[in-house]
């Protein structure tokens, strides 16, 4: 009996991997995201080596996410109009080119801090289109019945890379230098693009493309305003995005203050990533994430931040970071799943663009702010403020949602594909 139940849990948790196209996507994401985190470690220490401070790290974060905030609404409309598979393919190729250029500049010793900032800005422009396209593309890969599971598994594989990438990045920075880390990331984006190109387009459950029309950006905002779950989740994600998405920045400063350098930073990020993997897999087993659950997870995130801030020694700090990772993984997977389960067909690009703005674009404000707080006071104060604001997000989410019921969404229109993918 117990073995049978465990098998059912495993089958449900990894259900999306039965779809061949999603398996390709799954593998490509873990490779390219691992490279991204290797580059992130290298970029952080490159800025410090070039004379930057916590504020400079915050500026880098802001420059990467400002385009997401400014272009996100327009990008969402384009995602609804364009072929999402091709858009993901082009975005990964461009990101790989940017990483390759930075790798060459760093390896030749010609890099300057303003070049790092320009690269961050260009990556942000690519992400403005890539992030909502990838989220909307998940529905085309597995269909609406499995989209919650697929998003949780995608989050799990992304944060698995967060566990692996920083450790590899710390070793590469200490062993071979910063430049090869950028070049490794360029190669990883190339492999991710190959995985997308290898998919069978006939097995995709593609939305009928939205025709060009006036007022499509406004229509997206109206759709969110009329749905309590969408409204609640996006508000909570936006607040957490400002104050609760700066873990890499805070851990960079915490590692530097401890005097242990990049090796400790890699260990901290690996603890965070390992916890997020567990949290994402727990969320993958949920049948239907809700806005109420997302709010409660924001409250728990705040508590985990406070645990990290007041941990008395290195081992308790690492354990608190694991807890923070578990809750963060559950929060991210549940928030994305709750949105995709409640978005009308034809609106996915626009709503996922709002999610990208809420989760990433708000870091343009939070990055410099938390970096400045940590520079003026200390990193513990930054952690405490992040934790209290995450808990406040839960309360505000309750206020903006007037009802808890999940809305029935009309059955989406699909073009082509194998309907057997939707059988339970």
Domain presence at residue 417: no
- What are the DSSP calls for 180-249, one per residue? HHHHHHHHHHHHHHHHHHTS-GGG--EEPPPPP-TTHHHHHHHHHHT-HHHHHHHHHHHHHHHHSS-HHH
Q: What is the pLDDT of residue 422?
A: 28
Q: What is the pLDDT of residue 412?
A: 42
pLDDT band at residue 12 using 50, 70 and 90 as cut-offs: low
- Token pair for residue 138? 């998940």
Domain presence at residue 11: no
Q: Rounded distance, CA 87 to CA 94, Å?
A: 11
Residue 59's domain spans which residues? 20-204+215-406
CATH number, domain of 86, equals 1.20.1250.20
Q: Classify residue 127 by burial, with Cβ atoms within 10 Å: 0-12, 13-18, 19+.
A: buried
Domain presence at residue 413: no
- Mean pLDDT, rounded, of the chain: 78
Q: Rounded distance, CA 414 to CA 206, Å?
A: 5
**CA distances to 89, 153, 201, 310, 402 from 83, in Å:** 10, 23, 11, 48, 36
Q: What is the pLDDT of residue 286?
A: 66
Q: What is the pLDDT of residue 10?
A: 55
pLDDT for 210 beyond 80: no
Neighbours of 424 (CB within 10 A): 5
Domain presence at residue 411: no
pLDDT for 291 beyond 80: no
Q: Are 106 and 173 in contact (CB under 8 A)?
A: no
pLDDT for 320 beyond 70: yes
What φ, ψ does residue 414 adopt, rounded to 5°?
Answer: -120, 155
Average pLDDT over residues 322-351: 81
Domain presence at residue 210: no
Sign of the torsion angle spanned by Cα atoms 7, 419, 16, 289: negative
What φ, ψ does residue 69 adopt, rounded to 5°?
Answer: -70, -40
Domain presence at residue 28: yes
Domain presence at residue 412: no
Number of domains forming the structure of the chain: 1
Strand partners, 406: none
Lowest pLDDT segment from 143-152, 309-318, 323-332: 143-152
pLDDT in tens, 69-98: 788 778 888 887 888 888 889 999 999 999
Domain presence at residue 10: no
User: Which comes out higher in pLDDT, residue 250 or 285?
Assistant: 250
pLDDT for 342 beyond 50: yes
Is pTM beyond 0.85 here?
Answer: no
């Amino acid at each position: 009996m117990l073995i049978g139940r465990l098998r059912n849990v495993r089958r449900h948790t990894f259900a999306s991997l039965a779809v061949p196209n999603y398996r390709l996507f799954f593998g490509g994401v873990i490779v390219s995201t691992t490279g991204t985190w290797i580059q992130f470690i290298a970029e952080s220490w490159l800025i410090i080596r070039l004379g930057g401070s916590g504020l400079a790290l915050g500026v880098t974060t802001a420059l990467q996410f400002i385009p997401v905030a400014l272009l996100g609404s327009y990008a969402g409309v384009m995602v609804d109009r364009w072929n999402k598979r091709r858009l993901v393919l082009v975005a990964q190729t461009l990101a790989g080119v940017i990483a390759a250029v930075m790798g060459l500049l760093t390896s030749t010793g010609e890099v300057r801090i303003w070049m790092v900032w320009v690269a961050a800005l260009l990556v942000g422009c690519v992400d403005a289109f890539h992030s909502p396209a990838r989220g909307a593309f998940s529905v085309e890969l597995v269909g609406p019945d499995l989209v919650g599971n697929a998003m949780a598994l995608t989050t799990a594989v992304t944060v698995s890379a967060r566990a692996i990438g920083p450790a590899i990045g710390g070793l590469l920075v200490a062993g071979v230098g910063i430049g090869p880390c950028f070049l490794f990331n360029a190669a990883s984006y190339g492999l991710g693009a190959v995985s997308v190109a290898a998919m069978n387009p006939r097995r995709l459950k593609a939305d009928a493309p939205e025709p060009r029309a006036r007022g499509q950006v406004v229509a997206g905002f109206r759709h969110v305003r009329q749905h309590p779950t969408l409204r609640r989740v996006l508000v909570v994600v936006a607040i957490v995005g400002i104050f609760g998405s700066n873990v890499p920045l805070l851990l960079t400063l915490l590692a530097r203050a401890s005097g242990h350098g990049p090796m400790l930073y890699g260990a901290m990020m690996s603890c965070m990533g390992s916890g997020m993997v567990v949290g994402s897999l727990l969320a993958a087993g949920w049948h239907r994430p809700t806005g109420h659950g997302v709010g409660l997870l924001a409250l728990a995130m705040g508590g985990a931040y406070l645990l990290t801030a007041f941990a008395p020694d290195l081992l308790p700090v690492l354990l608190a970071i694991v807890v923070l990772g578990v809750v963060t993984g559950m929060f991210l997977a549940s928030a994305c799943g709750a949105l995709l389960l409640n978005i009308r067909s034809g609106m996915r690009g626009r709503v996922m663009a709002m999610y990208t703005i809420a989760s990433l674009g708000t870091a343009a404000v939070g990055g410099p702010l938390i970096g400045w707080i940590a520079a003026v006071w200390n990193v513990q104060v930054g952690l405490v403020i992040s934790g209290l604001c995450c808990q406040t997000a839960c309360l505000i989410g309750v206020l903006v949602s007037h009802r808890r019921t999940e809305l029935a969404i009309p059955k989406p229109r699909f073009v082509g594909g194998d309907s057997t993918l939707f059988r339970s």
